[in-house]
Amino acid sequence: MIKIMLTAALVLFSVAIAIALYRIISGPSLPDRVVAMDMIVVNLISAVAIISILLETKAFLEVILILGILAFISTIALSKYVERGVIIERKRNR
Amino acid sequence: MRKTNDLILQTVTKIVSFMIFMFALHIFFAGHNNPGGGFVGGLLTSGAIVLLLLAYDLKTVAGSLPIDYKILIAVGLLFAVGTGLGSLVFDVPFLTHAHDIFTLPILGETHLHTAVLFDIGVYLVVVGTTMTIIQTIGENE
């Protein structure tokens, strides 16, 4: 029973990822695609958690944290590129 | 140009970068018995420094972390080679590692292994290489 529920949750997460993928492909502007990428990583984190329950292992718990950190840093980098046009500044003029 | 304000980003960075540093340290020391090790730990440490670079600028980060990353690569390689050469002192082949269980004052019985010294070398080389690449690209106008 629990296996059926977990598999159904995985299918629903993959549907959510597919919807976000549609937004990445046909998104009219760059910020749409950035938010869709962030949403894909959040769904991927949940999918990894469910897979680690299905495989009955604790070896993937670091993957969840690392994916969260990477999604945070990359979303900040992309949004800084959208806002300023430069990702790493030499000297801030303030 | 529009006046911008990064107060939320800089406040979050002050907390989250320390969390990433601690997680990198954990994943470095857990590498012997769990997933992790020097490579992932080094990449996460450079990820924390990259987050600092994103929230502040190159000069501020260089002022608060005065590290020449090219020297860090050399120190890491020295650690790795020194671990290998240290085994020659005890008349065993190159890169032979030794381990034993010691009783430390606070930690109690601890399993110490010389492979950690080699892993420190890997860690320093990964941090140095990643940060050299990112800083060199970022300084390019």
Would you call B139 and A90 a contact, using CB atoms and an 8 Å cutoff?
Answer: yes
What integer is the mean pLDDT of A49-72? 92
B1-60 confidence digits (pLDDT tens):
566 778 999 999 999 999 999 999 999 998 888 888 899 999 999 999 999 999 988 888
Query: Buried (b) or exposed (e) across B50-88, using 16+ Cβ within 10 A?
Result: bbbbbbbbbeebeeeeeeebeebbeebeebbeebbebbe
Where would I find the H helices in chain B?
7-29, 38-55, 58-64, 69-89, 115-139
ipTM of the complex as predicted: 0.85
B4: distance to nearest CA of chain A, Å? 9
Question: Which residue from B136, B133, B113 is spatially nearest to B125, judged by alpha carbons?
Answer: B133
Residues A23 and A46: their CA atoms lie apart, in Å, by 20
Would you call B35 and A59 a contact, using CB atoms and an 8 Å cutoff?
Answer: yes
